[in-house]
Amino acid sequence: MKIGFIGLGNMGGHMARNLATAGHKVTGFDVAGIEVDGVANAASSAEAAKGADVIITMLPNGQILRAVAAEVIPAMQPNACFIDCSTVDVESARAVAADWPLSVDAPVSGGMGGADAGTLTFMAGGSAEAFAIAAPLFEIMGQKSVHCGENGAGQAAKICNNMILGATMVVTCEAFALADKLGLDRQKMFDVVSTSSGYSWSMNAYCPAPGIGPKSPADNDYQPGFAAELMLKDLRLSQQAAEAVDAATPLGEHATQEFAKFVEDEDGMGKDFSAMLPRLSKMKRG
């Protein structure tokens, strides 16, 4: 299959490489001029799309997605499928689908490690026909894909998932900071919580305390697996969506506020989102 891949950054580069390694003919474009082993370079996004059976995008936000789609769609051949793997607002995903019905919004979970290893999870929105085209490619780039519904449903699922993730990471870090001040050993706390009702992915798989649980960014001085500023972006998308449909999300709102302070007013930019723990450990009540 001939694939045009637009956006070859921390995630997209690994994904494009895995597709090329699997035998697909991949042509890529990135405004930063990034080159990926096994992937041919195009001079523009429109050039990457010419003659492609599938176009895949991995972009920073909805505004850029709309701009790229406006360049790419006129260059696409009939019956080509447009797959956007970015995390963007639901409205942008639906706007692209309105311009090109054979499209899938398919944001991912799994971070850079999952993109590299080909173990991502894809949350897909689009028609059954479009998903059938995309699914074999998801199998190469990931370990699981879920067809969540019509266009926009993939973004809705990602936004809801990451609102849970952001909120649970904040409260997990709060719990460790409280345990420290109560004199409770971190390992003992992990041993209890990880096998009790406080169990969560943030605690068990991505523990924010160094030296506790499976290896995580906390064990690498909080170098990002998933950067705090990306979590802030996703949380803001959740609140934008909540406002649009008049949904009450008080804990999602609180998590958004905490990450905004951390990233924009403190030193959280460029750190993993689990670095909320050392931040909270320094804070006092009130």
**Confidence class of residue 286 from pLDDT cuts 50, 70 and 90?**
confident
CA distances from 235 to 35, 67, 85, 252, 258 (A): 31, 23, 17, 7, 10
Q: What is the mean pLDDT of residues 93-122?
A: 95
> Quick check: 111 pLDDT over 90?
no
Q: Is the pTM of this model over 0.85?
A: yes
pLDDT for 28-43, tens place per residue? Answer: 999 999 999 999 999 9
Q: What is the mean pLDDT of residues 245-255?
A: 97
Q: What is the mean pLDDT of residues 253-265?
A: 98
**Confidence class of residue 56 from pLDDT cuts 50, 70 and 90?**
very high
Q: What is the mean pLDDT of residues 131-145?
A: 98
Closest-CA residue to 179 (of 166, 194, 190): 190
- Say if CB 35 and CB 41 are below 8 A apart: yes
pLDDT for 144-189, tens place per residue? Answer: 999 999 999 999 999 999 999 999 999 999 999 999 999 999 999 9
Q: Cα(109)–Cα(69) distance, rounded to whole angstroms?
A: 23
Residue 158 is among the residues annotated as catalytic for this protein: yes
| AA letter at 277 | L
Q: Cα(40)–Cα(279) distance, rounded to whole angstroms?
A: 43
CA distances from 74 to 35, 49, 100, 141, 234 (A): 25, 9, 10, 27, 30
pLDDT for 12-31, tens place per residue? Answer: 999 999 999 999 999 999 99
Q: Cα(269)–Cα(227) distance, rounded to whole angstroms?
A: 8
pLDDT for 205-237, tens place per residue? Answer: 999 999 999 999 999 999 998 999 999 999 999
> Quick check: 113 pLDDT over 80?
yes
Ranges of beta strands (E only) in 130-283 are 142-149
- Say if CB 263 and CB 179 are below 8 A apart: no
Annotated active-site residue in 144, 158, 215, 282? 158
Ranges of beta strands (E only) in the chain are 2-6, 25-29, 40-41, 54-57, 81-84, 103-105, 108-109, 120-125, 142-149
Q: In whole numbers, what is the pLDDT of the chain averaged over residues?
A: 96
Please report the pLDDT score of residue 112 as a whole number: 86
The CA R_g of the chain, rounded to the nearest whole Å, is 20
